[in-house]
Chains A and B, each alone.
Chain A
Amino acid sequence: MDFATLASQFFIGLSRGMIFFIVSAGLTLIFGVLRITNFAHGALYMVGAFIAYSVSTLFGQGPYGFWLALLVAPIAVMFISLVIERGLLRFIYNRDHLIQMLLTYSLVLIAGDLVKIIWGTEYKSMHIPEALRGSFNLWGASLPWYNAFLLVVGPVVALGLWFFLSKTNLGKICRATATDREMVDVLGINSTKVFAMVFALGGWLAGLGGALIAPTTTISMGMDASIIIYAFLIVVVGGLGNIWGALISSIIMGVGEAFGILFIPGVAIIIPYIIAGVLLILRPSGLLKSAW
């Protein structure tokens, strides 16, 4: 086990952490502002991957297909989220966690079968675009270009979210809603609009995560079930509603998992659960301060 292997595994874990972050940032935003435990987030991620596949296939898996998919899939998922929020979620904001959770879980079940009806059950795969194929040398270790690309996208998304939340008016309203919803209402701000927008943004992030993961994996039913648990763990470990907490715990999970694969390949699957369990036991309310 030389340094190069460790370094390349570290970067692969880090890039996987970026996907985790993009997905769980949406989840934690929704948590923080809407106070909804959105099980359907994984389903939106899966739908994003399938739409990305379809868009890319439409262009014969050519060079433009991927970039167009990356643009279209998140927006499509964003619109789906908007319909879900306006059509269903807004009726259950005052209910308790179990009811909200089960409502979003019903969407998981429905989405699963709808995907099966629309795209069929066979595994799908999508090509990595020409420009991002192959790998390059980094301190003697080889790192695939696509992972390097993810390492760029992740921070860009994080920066964008930071700018949105702390520099724009709307973002400030979002944070205010997360802290004290009633006060925001009292100030005469239409929190309904904020809720719809945040849920749509969360959906966009889930779709983006799905579109980004699509070329690196087989796109299949059930990819929602595994990501949603990871995303939940990341969000809770990071502190509910705290995006930076989600970033930190995404990186811990991604890198932890990558090293797990390197050192104990047989049981690497249990690493994220162990990390989450230990962190939750050590810091029951999350790494960073939760939004509420």
Chain B
Amino acid sequence: MSTNNLKLIENPKGKFNTYLGLGIAAVGIIVLLLAPGFLTQYYVYLLATVFTTALLATSLNLVLGYGGLLHLHHGVFFGVGAYTVAIVTTKTSWPFAVAVLLAPLVAALIALVIGWFCVRLRGLYFGMLTLALGQLVWAIVYRWNALTNGDNGIHAIPVPEFLTSINSVYYATLLILVISLIILYIITESPFGLMLLATRDNPVRSESVGVNVKRHRLTAFVIAGFFAGIAGVLFVLVERSVAPSLLFWSESAEVLIMCLMGGLTVFMGPMLGAGILVLLSMVVGLYTEYWLLVLGLLLLLLVLFLPQGILGYLMEIYNKSQDKRGGN
């Protein structure tokens, strides 16, 4: 039994009109640029959280959706990025910029180490090893009191003057998100991205035509770790505190749900899923303390009735209508 690729990804690259996509993105960015003028501080903060989570989910999807690898513990690299900023700013006298630059690099380095072991395994075993090694990192962060302040986490992380207001944090996270997304998008469209899709859809054939499957997977893993590290920096900008629970596996599971909800097959899918989940958790939180129950029921419905995700579903409809038009 081939456990290598995810079966639900049948149409990895929709035939979506590029200009239409760019148009939607441009309108979206303009709306988001103007948004703080109309929103209260709380909603601005919430949107900044959405940006952070969206980057995390999109970076995971490079491995999960495009690489077809069962990466179960992506939150680790997010947490490592956030902790790197927190530790550098509170324990050293290095400038803030160094902390920000260092975070994605450290996250990528950890991803390289973990990924180096994981890419040798297939399917479920790959997933379990990401879980085991990820939890190992969590346990280290949780216990290394001297460096990470253990269970308590690190709070009141100092940020530069110009990043103290929530509006400036909002624009900073938006800018970094957009830049990161453009880079990630270019990566998925590049020869490397296409090769990654090939290793997902048919690893045996890819290998036999001379593609180094493991190296491609490892590269994708490290890139995803790098961008998760950037998302970790954004998290610190927004929250100014870190806690070991960031690296616990249930956090990673939530990111997986976001990817599935939006659609693994569409570049924008995980972002949509992140937006929906973050906003929904806020709305549900107003009415009940049982957010996890709601999330569980939602996930149940999603898995049973919409496993291709929201954007995946829309893409299916769109592609069908395009096919019809093509036939005429």
Contacts and interface: CB of A to CB of B under 8 A. Distances in A.
Q: Are A and B a genuine interacting pair, yes or no? A: yes
Interface of A: 37, 88, 91-92, 95-99, 101-103, 105-110, 112-114, 116-117, 225, 229, 232-233, 236, 240, 266-267, 269-270, 273-274, 276-277, 280-281, 284-285, 292
Contacts of B121: 280, 284
A273 B132 contact: yes
Contact of A97 (B3, B296, B302): B3
B101 interface: no
B128 interface: yes
Interface size class of chain B, counting residues whose CB lies under 8 Å from the partner chain: 35 or more
Contact of B296 (A95, A108, A274, A292): A108
A229 B123 CA distance: 17
A92 B304 contact: yes
11 contacts: A88-B300, A95-B7, A95-B8, A106-B296, A225-B249, A229-B249, A236-B125, A236-B128, A270-B136, A270-B143, A284-B125
A101 B126 CA distance: 14
Contacts of B120: 281, 284
B143 A266 contact: yes
A113 B292 contact: yes
B239 to A, nearest CB: 22
Interface string B1-36: 101001110000000000000000000000000000
Decide if the interface of chain B is mainly helix, strand, loop or mixed. helix
Nearest to B150: A266
The 6 closest A-B pairs by CB, nearest first: A109-B296, A113-B293, A110-B296, A273-B136, A106-B299, A270-B139
Q: Which of A37, A103, A109 has the most CB of B within 10 A?
A: A109
Given A95-B7, A229-B249, A274-B136, A110 B128 contact: no
A123 B136 CA distance: 27
A111 to B, nearest CB: 8
Given A95-B8, A281-B129, A284-B125, 6 more contacts: A88-B300, A96-B8, A103-B300, A109-B295, A113-B292, A233-B132
